[in-house]
Amino acid sequence: MPHSAPPPDSADEPTEDLTLQAAGLTPHALLRANAGRIFAEMLGAGGPGVEKEGDTLGPYRLCELLGEGGFGSVWRAEQREVVRREVALKVIKPGMDTAQVLGRFNQERQALAGLDHPHIAVLLDAGVDTGGQPWFAMELVRGENITSWCAHHRPALDERLRLFMQVCEAVEYAHVRGILHRDLKPANVMVTHIDGRPTAKVIDFGIAKVMHGAAPADLTLLTRENQIVGTPVYMSPEQIEGGQELDARSDVYALGALLYELLTGLPPFDLDRLASADFSAVRRMMLDTEPERPSLRLRHHEAPHSPAWPLPVRLAPDLDWITLRALEKDRERRYPSAADLAADVSRYLEGKPVLASPPEVAYRVGRWLRRRRRSIFAACAGAAATTVVIAALLNWPDNAQIPASAASAPPLLQLAADGSFTNSLDMKFVPVPDTDVMFCIHETRYRDFIAYLGKDFDPGRSWGPVNTPGVDPRAPTSQNLPVARINWEGARDFCKWLSRREGRTYRLPTDREWSCAVGIGKEEKWTSATTPENVFKNTTEYPWGPVWPPPLGAGNYRDLTCKDSIAENPGICLEGYRDGFAMVAPVMSFAPDKLGLYDMGGNVMEWVADWANRAKTKRVLRGSSWDYPSSHYKEQLLSSTRTIVDYARSDTQHPCHGFRVVLDLKPGTPAL
């Protein structure tokens, strides 16, 4: 137990046992459950414990209140009989001695009595005072909780990982003896110094559960149906969902959350959002929200930009995969034990290959589809209705009329094994997290646009007279070049044509959807007053990462290759960079991003659906291009950069204005 009050920077960390009630109790049950507290308040003894400094419980004299949780108070106490020593004494709060709480308290005493490990705070004694108030005495751990200790001592990455492995050893030791902690969190992992070396100690098995060897009646007090005990942000999905028998993998999940925080300085989920949320909102977040990769979270965190930050700004991918495997929603995919998790961390420290690896695409897509199951269900329901209608049409009389609604229902999406969808033009689409759309992996191609022009080409359009409409006349002929010299209306009209052709809703992406696709969507807090012109702009992230200049092969820009091709008047170029293309490049000429999207920065700029301002006088293009004439390339190539165009001039045949389309998964959404 801590020897002194928690430091100020730990104020945001939960320090009490949090019990979330999934189903409301009846008034009778509430009265019975709170009888002790109500009786104590009637006697004027409600609130903090009635024990005070100098009081005696058993052989212990209370010296200093160290903290209060939901069910008990923790004191630094002094034992004077038999042996002289200081202990941490936990006492049940008056008014909290209901049958359930007493059962949980007794479970804590029994669980700890069998644990003797150098990284677990030892249970020394237990008893009940003359007034019937239970207490137990534990080893007094002089130190700080693990995250506060890291904040104050700023240990290097290797030292943090070795402390974490000590925690895993302690948890594994308890698991082997049938004890599940169920409330692992930074506040319950202390760091003390033994022989001058930092040592982790796991404390407070107060809501531990005996995994085997206990009477069912004893377990009932701890695992009542619909009741969840623990701290939400560190709780496994099966623990917060309830109704499942917990096992060691639930603690492995909590260890993953602890490792995430040791690597980034932040918990895997937003504590502020959880603090103000009701149970249903907490449940949705924990079950459906995927934590951001630690390395990516670290890049966005302010601390790494400070000279005092002790960790590397870029984490090795191995640490991402180790952490995220421990945090898998599906416990079958987690490490089976704390020992296996510690072993993979040890492999990383020894420079050996780790067992963790990125989840396969099919699994990631499955998780994405689960989060949007309502939209998918509606789409599938529409497809099922279509199937029924088609079956009926086979026997429909020749003179019968086909219902208009049946004719317009979209067919079911036929996804590939990797979760992608390819339409009749061979345009491939992949899902983008935090959106309800699938993005085309490439910019709209010349050959896609030619299919459109073959039916709907209007030579009077402003982008029509220059050579082949939509293609830069200076570029080499290629069916796979991105279409260019397109105004906003031309891009929108293509989407309408494609929607009619395919029987689905294709459209331009919104500005926010484009940000999600390029990896900065979560940073942009959109409200009713937000526009692409005034939204928060990330000033450090590029499509290839947070480094400058762009690495070789990052994309197609106005570079030295372009400069050499127009030596008579090269203009402004990106010095020191060569991409191998004098002008526009065929789509997918460079490596894709982590979602499988190509050319999110470079080649041609892309129209999005939104107006840039509330006055609706300006339009927006995202991404840079091969020919953007700017002396501020470093700013222009940022993922957050918007090119704002006055709508009156958006009809200009600019050689860098192109677009890509998205497939809307929400049924009934009209094409823009």
Whether residue 524 sits in one domain with residue 464:
yes
At 345, list the tokens: 């961390």
Average pLDDT, the chain: 75
* Cα 523 from Cα 51, distance rounded (Å): 48
Q: What is the rounded radius of gyration, in angstroms, for the C-alpha atoms of the chain?
A: 31
Question: How many domains, the chain?
Answer: 4
CATH of the domain at 179: 1.10.510.10
Whether residue 435 sits in one domain with residue 367:
no
Sign, CA torsion 392/398/403/407:
positive
| Spatial CA neighbour of 477 closest among 467, 485, 486 | 467
Question: Quick check: is 21 in a domain?
Answer: no
Amino acid 260: pLDDT: 95
Amino acid 226: pLDDT: 40
Amino acid 437: pLDDT: 94
**Phi and psi dihedrals of 507, rounded to 5?**
-160, 175
Confidence of residue 457 (pLDDT cuts 50, 70, 90): very low
pLDDT tens track for 193-205: 998 899 999 987 7
Whether residue 147 sits in one domain with residue 107:
no
Question: Quick check: is 11 in a domain?
Answer: no
**Phi and psi dihedrals of 372, rounded to 5?**
-115, 30
| 0.75 exceeded by pTM | no
- Higher-scoring residue by pLDDT: 508, 17: 508
**DSSP structure class, residue 479:** T
pLDDT tens track for 83-100: 889 999 888 776 555 555
Whether residue 651 sits in one domain with residue 589:
yes
Whether residue 130 sits in one domain with residue 172:
no
Residue environment code for 161-180, b if the CB has 16+ CB neighbours within 10 A, otherwise e: bbbbbbbbbbbbbbbebebb
Whether residue 155 sits in one domain with residue 81:
no
pLDDT at residue 514 is higher than 60: yes
pLDDT at residue 306 is higher than 80: no
DSSP for 197-223 reads EEEEEE---TT-EESSSS-HHHHHHHS
Whether residue 478 sits in one domain with residue 564:
yes
Question: Quick check: is 563 in a domain?
Answer: yes
- Higher-scoring residue by pLDDT: 269, 437: 437
Whether residue 386 sits in one domain with residue 299:
no
Helix (H, G, I), strand (E, B) or coil at 127: strand
Whether residue 147 sits in one domain with residue 129:
no
Question: Quick check: is 158 in a domain?
Answer: yes
Confidence of residue 655 (pLDDT cuts 50, 70, 90): confident
Q: Which residues contact residue 280 at a Cβ distance below 8 angstroms, ignoring those fewer than 6 apart?
A: none
CA 379 to chain centre: 26
Residue 304 has, within 13 A of its CA and on its CB side, a CA count of: 19
A 10 A CB-CB count for 505 gives: 22
**Where is the domain boundary, 338, 357, 376?**
357
pLDDT at residue 329 is higher than 70: yes
Question: Quick check: is 204 in a domain?
Answer: yes
**Where is the domain boundary, 123, 140, 157?**
140
Question: Quick check: is 414 in a domain?
Answer: no
**Where is the domain boundary, 140, 167, 195?**
140
- Higher-scoring residue by pLDDT: 589, 383: 589
Amino acid 598: pLDDT: 95
For the chain, what percent of residues have pLDDT higher than 70?
Answer: 68
- Per the structure, the complete domain to which residue 567 belongs is given by 429-663
pLDDT at residue 2 is higher than 70: no
CATH of the domain at 120: 3.30.200.20
- Higher-scoring residue by pLDDT: 170, 454: 170
Question: Quick check: is 14 in a domain?
Answer: no
Amino acid 377: pLDDT: 52
pLDDT tens track for 244-299: 778 899 999 999 999 999 999 889 987 666 555 566 677 777 777 888 889 888 87
Whether residue 344 sits in one domain with residue 281:
yes
* Cα 21 from Cα 659, distance rounded (Å): 50
Residue type, 569: N
CATH of the domain at 476: 3.90.1580.10
A 10 A CB-CB count for 203 gives: 22
130-139, 302-311, 376-385, 440-449: least confidently modelled range: 376-385
Whether residue 602 sits in one domain with residue 494:
yes
CA 524 to chain centre: 15
Question: Quick check: is 12 in a domain?
Answer: no
pLDDT at residue 5 is higher than 60: no
* Cα 29 from Cα 11, distance rounded (Å): 33
Confidence of residue 421 (pLDDT cuts 50, 70, 90): very high
Sign, CA torsion 296/260/145/149:
negative
**DSSP structure class, residue 639:** T
Residue type, 389: V
Strands of 618-622's sheet, edge to edge? 642-646, 618-622, 605-611, 657-658
139-153, 340-354, 466-480, 599-613: least confidently modelled range: 466-480
Whether residue 133 sits in one domain with residue 192:
no
Query: Could you give the maximum distance between any two Cα atoms of the chain, in Å?
Result: 103
Amino acid 600: pLDDT: 94
Amino acid 58: pLDDT: 86
